[in-house]
Amino acid sequence: MSNQSPIRKTEARVVERQRARATEQRHGAMKKFIPLAIVFLVAVFVIFVGLTTLTKTSNENIQGAIGPRVQLDREKIDMGNRLFNEPVRAVFNVQNVGDGTLKLETPRIANVLEGC
């Protein structure tokens, strides 16, 4: 019986060393994988930013080249406090900055509700 005890301890040490090597190999593989993953993510980010910037600049270059485009001299008019149902008049200067024909129809009369 005394002969079996050292063999078992030796086998246990061998198994323990094998486990340690396997764990070390896994950690080594992860140490190689993490930098590659970081490089890949940075490359994807750079490509994404480059494409969005390229698309944005190309859209700005052809801004006036696609059909009619309306440009107004102002977008809002503040007439202050007015009585309800009191007529008001506003004038907008409209300009076609595109290359197509701009067609304007008769203006619609805006209905204003009290409290708006």
Q: What is the pTM of this model?
A: 0.33
53 within some domain: yes
50 within some domain: yes
Q: What is the mean pLDDT of residues 89-109?
A: 82
Domain span at residue 26 reads: 4-63
Number of domains making up the chain = 1
Say if CB 102 and CB 96 are below 8 A apart. Answer: yes
115 within some domain: no
73 within some domain: no
| pLDDT band at 44; cut points 50, 70, 90 | very high
**pLDDT by residue (tens digit) across 18-30?**
999 988 888 887 7
Q: What is the mean pLDDT of residues 44-50?
A: 91
- Of 13-17, 61-65, 77-81, minimum mean pLDDT range: 61-65
Task: Quote the CA–CA distance of 3 and 1 in Å, as a whole number.
Answer: 5
Q: What is the pLDDT of residue 64?
A: 46
